């Protein structure tokens, strides 16, 4: 089986080694840009997911290594408006160019077209990646536990907090969940997709739900197909789902999204 994660991380770490910018200096630039209004102030990503029923982080995604092209003509601003009309609480936008066909511009267009908080969905491997998320106008950044050491998780989370960003720490098993909580995670995503093979295990999220503390916002990610999946995840105690392919490929994106949200969330 192909090891997608290894290839993607190798590419991103090679780029990071060539980046000589000082994270502290770039962070000051980001803070100044926010103070001056050049970059819009962060929207409350975590707060947007604390609703009465199941919330959705709707993903703007052009393609993936496993599925290929999802929408060759995707227009991020129009998709963001469709998602907002369908009841999305937040957006997730791929900014990885090489493997997912995304860009910084995709994120900026989607955010400008909606009033929703936006997650920069990318492979964060350096502190300056976190700062770049704020500079491009993101409200949250993705940290993948499988891709980062304990020290990196802690440092990147602290950097995100200092910049006013939420950190969605993505885990795949109990050990990674423990590491995320040790790093102070307030927002945890359980990815049902194995990032080494991209195969989906639809029972993974439900099996881990009870291990996530009640004060932490819990998000189920990947392989979410329909209302039945969302109902089951809400009954397991998830506050939100992150859905990409199902929505991008839907003929009626707003309608498809409406069918996925609002289910009563069981206490964990």
Both structure tokens of 202: 């639809």
Establish whether 221 is a catalytic residue. yes
SS3 180: helix
Catalytic residue among 61, 92, 114, 245: 61
Establish whether 121 is a catalytic residue. yes
Catalytic residue among 82, 127, 170, 245: 170
- 8 A C-beta contact, residue 147 and residue 123: yes
Catalytic residue among 55, 59, 84, 176: 59
Both structure tokens of 268: 């964990």
Establish whether 191 is a catalytic residue. yes
20, with CB counted inside 10 A (0-12, 13-18, 19+), is exposed
Catalytic residue among 64, 92, 191, 245: 191
User: What secondary structure does DSSP assign to 93-130, as a single string?
Assistant: EE--STTT---HHHHHHHHHHSSS-EEEES---SHHHH
Q: Measured between alpha carbons, how far is 74 from 18 in angstroms, rounded to an integer?
A: 31
Catalytic residue among 82, 84, 127, 221: 221
Q: Which of 192, 191, 264, 268 is nearest to 234 (CA)?
A: 264
Catalytic residue among 55, 89, 157, 222: 222
Establish whether 127 is a catalytic residue. no
Both structure tokens of 127: 């502190």
Establish whether 67 is a catalytic residue. no
Catalytic residue among 114, 121, 157, 176: 121
Establish whether 114 is a catalytic residue. no
Establish whether 25 is a catalytic residue. no
- 8 A C-beta contact, residue 169 and residue 188: yes
180, with CB counted inside 10 A (0-12, 13-18, 19+), is buried
From residue 13, alpha-carbon distances to 44, 122, 125 in Å are 29, 12, 6
Both structure tokens of 196: 């080494």
Q: Which of 143, 138, 144 is nearest to 60 (CA)?
A: 138
Which residues participate in catalysis according to the annotation?
59, 61, 121, 170, 191, 221-222
């Amino acid at each position: 089986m192909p090891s997608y994660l290894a290839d993607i991380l190798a590419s991103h770490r090679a780029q990071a080694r060539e980046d000589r910018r000082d994270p502290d200096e770039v962070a000051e630039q980001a803070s100044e840009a926010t103070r001056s209004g050049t970059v819009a102030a962060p929207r409350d990503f975590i707060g947007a997911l604390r609703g009465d029923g199941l919330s959705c982080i709707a993903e703007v995604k052009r393609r993936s290594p496993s599925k290929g092209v999802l929408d060759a003509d995707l227009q991020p601003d129009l998709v963001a408006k469709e998602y907002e009309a369908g009841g999305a609480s937040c957006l997730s936008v791929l900014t990885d160019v090489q493997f997912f066909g995304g860009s910084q511009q995709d994120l900026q267009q989607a955010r400008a077209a909606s009033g929703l908080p936006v997650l920069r969905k990318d492979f964060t491997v350096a502190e300056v990646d976190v700062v770049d998320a704020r500079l491009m106008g993101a409200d949250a950044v993705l940290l993948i536990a499988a891709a980062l050491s304990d020290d990196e998780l802690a440092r990147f989370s602290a950097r995100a907090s200092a910049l006013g960003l939420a950190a969605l720490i993505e885990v795949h098993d109990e050990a990674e969940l423990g590491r995320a909580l040790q790093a102070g995670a307030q927002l945890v995503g359980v990815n049902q997709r194995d990032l080494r093979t991209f195969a989906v295990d639809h029972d993974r999220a439900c099996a881990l739900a009870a291990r996530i503390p009640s004060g932490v916002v819990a998000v189920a990610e990947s392989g979410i197909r329909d209302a039945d999946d969302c109902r089951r995840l809400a009954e397991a105690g998830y506050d939100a789902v992150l859905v990409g392919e199902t929505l991008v490929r839907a003929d009626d994106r707003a309608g498809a999204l409406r069918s996925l949200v609002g289910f009563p969330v069981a206490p964990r």
